Amino acid sequence: MYDLSKGADWLNQWLNGWCAPWVTTVIECVLIGVVLLLAYALLALFYIYFERKVCAAFQCRLGPNRVGPAGIFQSVADMFKILIKELISLKYTDKFLFALAPYLVIIASMLCFAVLPWGNGLQIIDFNIGIFFLVAVSSIGVLGILLAGWSSNNKFTLIGALRSGAQMVSYELSIGLSVITMVAFAGSMSITDICMAQKDVWFIVSGHIPAIIAFIIYIIAGTAETNRGPFDLPEAESELTAGYHTEYSGIHFGFFYLAEYLNLFIVSGVATLLFFGGWMPLHIPGWEGFNQVMDYIPSLIWFIGKAILLSFVIIWFKWTFPRLRIDQLLHLEWKYLLPINLANLVLMVIVICYGLHF
C-alpha cells in the first residue's frame, strides 16, 4: 500500500537542508494552508456540479450543459459571479457580528477538513483524541448561523437561525452517540488507530447489527446537521425567503454556500472513517489475490471515492423526500433516534464485552 508520508518526510528533510528549522516550519504551514484552500475550493466546485447533475437525473432533465463540455465549467462561472458581486451594507444590522458570522462557519468546516484521514500518511493533524477534536470543532458552525440570523435584524433570518440552532443542537446528540458507539468498538479516539483497525474488515461488517444501526442513524442525523433536505427547515424558501442568510450577498453568501457543500463532504468523510475503513481498501478474508489488487489503488482514491458515494446517498435523500415540518423534525430526533441510539450503544458494549463481533 502506498505510504504518502514518505513524500512529506522527503520535503521536510530537503527544506531542513536549505533553511533554518523555524523557516522550514513556516514554509510547511503555508504549503499546507494553500493545499487545504485549493482542495476546499475544488471540492466545493465539484459538489455543486455533482448535485446539479444528480438533481437533474432525478427530475428527468439534463442539468448544466452549456458552459464547457457537459456544463463542467458552470460552477466555475458561478464562483466568479459570486466573487464580483457587491457586498450590500444594511443600515440596521450589527455590522461586526454580521461580517463575522460567515467566517465562523468557514473556520469550523476548515478545522474539520484538516483532521480527515485523506490517505495513508496524508493527514494534517493526528493525535490521540482526533475524533473528540473533530466533534468539538464541528459544533462551532452553529454559532455562525445563530449570529447571522440575529445580527441581520430580520424576522425571517431570526426564525431561520432559531430553527437551525434547535435542529443542529438536537441532531448533534445522535451524531455524537453514533460516533461514541464506533469509538467504543474501535477502542481508540485516534483517527489513525481507527483506520488501522479496519485493515482486514471494515467496521460496518465486523460490528454487524450495532454498527449498521449506528450508520443509519448517523446518515440521517448528518443530513439534518448539514441543513439539507428533507431537513432544510432553517432555509425553507416557501416560508423564510432564504432563512438565516437572506440578507447576505457576494462573497459572504458564497461562504455559507461553500460551507454547506463542504459540510456534506465532511459528514460523508467521517462516515467513511468510522464505518467503511477510511482510506483502507476493500479486503475480503481469504481472497488474497483480490486483496492485493485492491492494495494497488491509491489510498487517496479510496477515501475520496467512498466519501463521494456516501454524499450521493445524502443528495438522494434531498431529491426524494418532501420537507418535514419543524415539529416532525424534532419528534424524529427526541422520540425515535435518540432512544434507539442509547439502546444501540448498550448493545455495542454487550457485543464488545462478550466478543460477539467478527
* pLDDT value at residue 96: 87
Instruction: With respect to residue 99, please indicate whether it lies within any of the assigned structural domains.
Output: yes
Q: What is the three-class DSSP state of 248? A: coil
Instruction: With respect to residue 22, please indicate whether it lies within any of the assigned structural domains.
Output: no
Q: How many domains does the chain have?
A: 1
* pLDDT value at residue 275: 92
Instruction: With respect to residue 320, please indicate whether it lies within any of the assigned structural domains.
Output: yes
Instruction: With respect to residue 17, please indicate whether it lies within any of the assigned structural domains.
Output: no
Nearest-angstrom CA–CA distance, 267 and 161: 21
Nearest-angstrom CA–CA distance, 19 and 358: 51
* pLDDT value at residue 279: 87
Nearest-angstrom CA–CA distance, 79 and 67: 13
Residue 260 in contact with residue 176, Cβ under 8 Å? Answer: no
| Burial classification of residue 86, based on how many CB atoms lie within 10 Å of its CB (0-12 exposed, 13-18 middle, 19 or more buried) | exposed
Query: Dihedrals φ, ψ of 118, to 5°?
Result: -70, -30
Instruction: With respect to residue 150, please indicate whether it lies within any of the assigned structural domains.
Output: yes
> Which grid coordinates are listed for 185?
468498538
Query: Dihedrals φ, ψ of 119, to 5°?
Result: -170, 180
Q: Which domain holds residue 231?
A: 86-353
Predicted TM-score (pTM) of the model is 0.89
Nearest-angstrom CA–CA distance, 151 and 146: 8
Instruction: With respect to residue 1, please indicate whether it lies within any of the assigned structural domains.
Output: no
Element (H, E) at 111: helix 95-115
* pLDDT value at residue 169: 83
* pLDDT value at residue 307: 92
Instruction: With respect to residue 132, please indicate whether it lies within any of the assigned structural domains.
Output: yes
Contact residues for 79 (Cβ-Cβ < 8 A; gap 6+): 41, 45, 254
Residue 195 in contact with residue 273, Cβ under 8 Å? Answer: yes
Query: Which residues of the chain are modeled with pLDDT < 70?
Result: 1-5, 234-242, 358
Instruction: With respect to residue 129, please indicate whether it lies within any of the assigned structural domains.
Output: yes
* pLDDT value at residue 336: 92
Nearest-angstrom CA–CA distance, 298 and 304: 10
